Homo-oligomer: A and B are copies of this chain.
Amino acid sequence: MPRVTGAAATTGEILRLIREEELHTRAELARVTGLSRPVIGQRVNELLEAGLVTESPGVSSGGRPAARLEFNGAGGTVLVASLGHTHGHLAVCDLAGAILHQEPVEVAGGPEAGIGAVLDLWRALERGPVRGVGIAVPGASAEHEPVVAAVAERYPVPVCIDNDVNVMALGEHRLRHDVDDLLFVKASTGIGAGIVSGGRLQRGAYGSAGEIGHIPVPDGLLCGCGTVGCVETVAGGAALLAQLEGRAANLPELAALARAGDLEAVAVLRDAGRRIGEVVAASVNVLNPALVVLGGDLAGKNLIAGVRETVYQRAAAAATRRLRIEPSLLGDDAGLLGCATMILDHILSPRAVDTALRAAPSPQDPTPVP
């Protein structure tokens, strides 16, 4: 019987089918790939031996019940950290991307200075073999090579680092993998966006794609960047706190105020949404995404309403006809979950898995997967 799929169904590809395509028995895998049962059996055994897949009794459909194959999220861990300029969070996640344990961390002086503290905390939290490390940093990730070097020295596994917004965009994309073109907008102290186009994260030529915080909006104050009327200046967290004249000390408080129905807070957020909507409208015109996701401390229903209002009014009909604008599904742990997605996508990709299995077919090897 000839093969059906275009790509050769390597062992790594079989894992992808189990993990992402909802195929859970050897027989199904054989049908979909067009490969014979013995080949599938052999590949699945490799995955079972490597601890990447588990087998459990299934239900019968009239004959012998098929053993149910599941990706083994407990087959290892990844270490992740979402770092800001002064503080951040870190966590240990399983291979399914679930957070097993997390901690806040102080990184006075930024990620470079604070990476030592992060490494020490990770060491204390470690459980099971570490298969990869994912880190989110503020701003351009290219400037954080020393961080990667410090981590790579302690952990001989793949290390991925990216901008916090890009990482969140990846995390959101994982939850909605039917959407191949999405724009993730983070509204917090700063305002930025992560772009997924054609199913892939777009960083631009020099890593600053999606930096929409300094696009000017009509009417506005002088921004630190030199231009007049950057969105970040008129609708960023600092501006909103200033507008409330001390009634909220930080962004979570502001959000809480709005949730409690405070009319002034609601108005401030709605108006910020309108300003942000201006730049989102421009981005939507340029990119034509299927979905805009709003995340960050400020992305409550009021801000989102403001964004919707402006985008549907300002952006071209062709780009908005089927456009959805929705809140993030990731919640408070967006950064950590995004980091986990980033590194897991890397180490569980068919290529990486094939390479790892070729190098270390035995399960007790110190770094069997990546």
Q: Contact between B322 and A214 (Cβ–Cβ < 8 Å)?
A: no
Q: Is A62 at the interface (CB under 8 A from chain B)? A: no
Pairs A–B under 8 Å by Cβ, sample size 29: A6-B351, A180-B205, A197-B197, A197-B198, A198-B200, A203-B288, A204-B287, A205-B288, A205-B289, A206-B288, A206-B318, A206-B321, A206-B322, A207-B288, A208-B318, A209-B287, A209-B288, A210-B288, A211-B285, A211-B288, A211-B318, A215-B281, A215-B285, A215-B316, A216-B314, A218-B218, A225-B317, A227-B316, A286-B287
Q: Which of A174-221 contact B (CB under 8 A)?
A: 179-181, 193, 195, 197-198, 200, 202-212, 214-216, 218
- Taking a contact as CB atoms closer than 8 A, the residue among B203, B207, B316 that contacts A211 in the complex is B316
Q: Copy number of this protein in the oligomer? A: 2
Name the residue among A179, A205, A226, A318 with the largest chain B CB count within 10 angstroms.
A205
Q: Contact between A286 and B197 (Cβ–Cβ < 8 Å)?
A: no
Alpha-carbon distance between A13 and B322 when the two chains are bound, in angstroms = 39
Cβ distance A316 to chain B, nearest Cβ, rounded Å: 4
Q: Contact between B205 and A322 (Cβ–Cβ < 8 Å)?
A: yes
Alpha-carbon distance between A188 and B279 when the two chains are bound, in angstroms = 25
**Which bucket holds chain A's interface residue count?**
35 or more
Alpha-carbon distance between A317 and B281 when the two chains are bound, in angstroms = 21
Q: Contact between A288 and B204 (Cβ–Cβ < 8 Å)?
A: yes
Q: Contact between B290 and A286 (Cβ–Cβ < 8 Å)?
A: no
Q: Is A328 at the interface (CB under 8 A from chain B)? A: no
Q: Is A140 at the interface (CB under 8 A from chain B)? A: yes
Q: Which of A92-129 contact B (CB under 8 A)?
A: none
Q: Which residue of B lies closest to A227 (CB)?
A: B314
Alpha-carbon distance between A285 and B279 when the two chains are bound, in angstroms = 10
Q: Is A282 at the interface (CB under 8 A from chain B)? A: yes
Q: Which residue of B lies closest to A182 (CB)?
A: B205
B residues near A82, Cβ cutoff 8 Å:
none
Q: Which residue of B lies closest to A279 (CB)?
A: B282
Q: Contact between B289 and A286 (Cβ–Cβ < 8 Å)?
A: no
Q: Contact between B193 and A286 (Cβ–Cβ < 8 Å)?
A: yes
